[in-house]
Structure formats: C-alpha cells, structure tokens
C-alpha cells in the first residue's frame, strides 16, 4: 500500500485544490515549486561553509553552490584533508527547480556523507532546449575536477548525483565522462531517475494518475525540454538506450513504488548490472515521486537520505 504519510500529503493537496504543474506556465511553476517547498522540507541544517560560485559554460556562466560539511566530532587538524565531492543536479523535469529548492538535501548529504557538495544551476527548458542541461552539467563537473584542489576538494574522489531529471543528467554525465576518458568518476547517485524519454514503461500507466507526478505532468516537462520526438531516442535524453553501458562508476539507484518512473529506473539498474557495473538498487515501495526532499512530512525520506549518504561515504572513502 502507499505509505500513510504520502497518502496524507496527496489528500491535503486534493483538499486545498492546488493546481497541477501542467496548469501553470514555466515561470509560475518555478515560483510555485520554490515557494511550497517549506511545507514538506525539513529545516536547513547548518554546514561549515556555503559558497556561491560560477563556471564558464557553453552559453555563459553556470551558477554553482558549494557546501562543506560540519567537522566530525573529535576531528583534528590532521583530519583536514581535501574533501571528496558530490556534483549534484536538481530535479524538476528540466523545467523547474534551482539551487534553493534542493538546498536542504545538499546540506543533508554533505553532513551525513562528510563530503563537499557542488549544486549546479543548469539551463532549463523551454528557454534552453535539449541538450543544454546535459552540456551544462558535464561542463560543471569537469570544472569541479579542474579546480578541485584550490577549493579544498579531492579531484580523485568525485561523484555525480541527482533526483528525477537530475538523476537523468547524472547518468548522462557519467557516460560522457567515461567516453571522454579524462574525467574519472567514483560514484553515481541516481534518485528515481528518468532514463527513457519515450515514457513506454508499464508504471507510466499504473502510476500515471493520482500520485503527484502524473502522465500529463511528465508530458508537460518533456515538451518544454524536448522539441523533437526524435530526441527521445538520443541516449543523452534516454541513457537507458545507450548501446554500451559498460565501464561506468558504481551506483546506487533508488526508485519509489508509486512513481511513474519506477520501471525505467529498475530497467536502468538492471542494465548497469548486466553490463558489469557495480550497482545497488533499492525501491521504497510505499513512496511517491519526489519523496526524498519531503522529510518534514514523510519519515521514509529521512531513511532514504541516510542510505544515500552512507553509500556516498563508502564509495568516496580513501
């Protein structure tokens, strides 16, 4: 069954007659998403440092936000080595979301995994169409590697990660990094990623109505990012369709049982494992899409964050 806390959230949304994302313009949807996050997200935990940065991108500056974790209890100067780093890409259907909507999650992961996090504010549709987001995310990851040492980061311990559209972008960046041969990545954190833009998996039907992210919402996001259906077959949009998924970094892939993206996430995990990669797959069977940022109202979100952080810490250990 669906988790009672997730169902209570869905009931509250229905009672308040809140508009679905597809009923709003992209500008309205972005403001709506940013403003409503405080209803479901925990308070932002303190971290040791937050720094606003930017890097040069294919079409101008890409805003970045660096988080450094609080020191471990009993840490000494001898422990002050370069930090491993997670380059994080926010979710939001390549259309909404920003550095602020995922600020709490980035802080949580930094502290719990004791790693730095660099959050990337990549270009989004409809102003910037496919493959703009993927190009920005790859560029930002390469920049983090290049300037890791001046930032107090370890260029040999870099992970990529993201949720939903951000999980899609992390998977794409991992493939681009492998193919480029000069950007070694240590880990992929893929949280209910979109991996097949064709939306043909059964869960798009079974979970396509009544669970927050609906088929119509997915089409809304898709059409703002993808301007030609032929791009659905491009692996930079649909990493599941890449003909060779071997030689990729270890990964943790999370899905939610009542998520339209559940089945394509499972298929991607299976494809990664079949190609010889180390991969752990966990499905939170009672949860809905987007739940990991909802720790204020859904307890399993906090368990999911703890799991992600533990796997990150293990993968990024010296």
Q: Show which residues are catalytic.
A: 164, 259, 289
Distance (Å, whole) CA 203 – CA 260: 5
Residues 6+ away with beta carbon under 8 Å from 34: 98, 100, 101
Dist CA 190 CA 254 (whole Å): 6
In the structure encoding, which two tokens stand for residue 36, read together? 């409503």
Read off the DSSP letter of residue 231.
Answer: G
- Angstrom CA distances, 209 to 4, 130, 201, 204, 218, stand at 18, 26, 14, 9, 11
Torsion over CA: 130, 133, 139, 141 (sign)? negative
How far apart, in Å, are the Cα atoms of 81 and each of 38, 116, 118, 175? 35, 12, 18, 29
Residue 126: C-alpha distances to residues 131, 132, 179, 225 (Å): 12, 11, 28, 6
For tokens 């080595």, the residue is: 81
What's the CA gap between 103 and 111, in Å, rounded? 13
* Closest to 96 (Cα-Cα) out of 274, 293, 250, 284: 293
Rounded distance, CA 295 to CA 301, Å? 5
Look up residue 143 and give its two tokens. Answer: 């920049």
The CA dihedral of 63, 65, 66, 70, to the nearest 10 degrees, is 180
Burial class (CB in 10 A: 0-12, 13-18, 19+), 77: exposed
């Amino acid at each position: 069954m669906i988790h009672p806390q997730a169902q209570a959230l869905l009931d509250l949304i229905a009672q308040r007659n809140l508009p679905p994302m597809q009923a709003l313009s992209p500008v309205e949807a972005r403001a709506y998403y940013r403003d409503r996050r405080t209803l479901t997200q925990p308070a932002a935990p303190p971290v040791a440092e937050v720094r606003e940065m930017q890097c040069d991108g294919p079409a101008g500056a890409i805003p970045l936000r660096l988080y450094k974790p609080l020191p471990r209890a009993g840490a000494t100067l001898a422990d002050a080595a370069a930090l491993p780093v997670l380059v994080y890409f926010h979710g939001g259907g390549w259309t909404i979301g920003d550095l602020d909507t995922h600020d709490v999650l980035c802080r949580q992961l930094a502290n719990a995994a004791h790693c730095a996090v660099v959050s990337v504010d990549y270009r989004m549709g409809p102003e910037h169409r496919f493959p703009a987001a993927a190009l920005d995310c790859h560029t930002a990851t390469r920049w983090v590697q290049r300037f890791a040492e001046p930032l107090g980061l370890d260029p040999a311990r870099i992970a990529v990660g993201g949720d939903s559209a951000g999980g899609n972008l992390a998977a794409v960046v991992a493939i681009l990094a492998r193919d480029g041969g000069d950007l070694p990545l240590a880990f992929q954190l893929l949280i209910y990623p979109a991996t097949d833009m064709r939306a043909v998996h059964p869960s798009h039907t079974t979970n396509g109505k009544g669970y927050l992210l609906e088929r119509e919402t997915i089409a809304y996001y898709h059409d703002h990012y993808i301007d030609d259906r032929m791009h659905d077959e491009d692996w930079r949009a649909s990493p599941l369709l890449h003909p060779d998924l071997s030689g990729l970094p270890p990964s943790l892939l999370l899905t939610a049982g009542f998520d339209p993206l559940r089945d394509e996430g499972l298929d991607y995990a299976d494809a990664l494992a079949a190609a010889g990669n180390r991969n752990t797959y966990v499905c939170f069977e009672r949860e809905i899409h987007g739940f990991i940022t909802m720790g204020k109202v859904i307890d399993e979100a906090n368990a999911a964050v703890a799991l992600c952080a533990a796997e990150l810490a293990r993968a990024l250990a010296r």
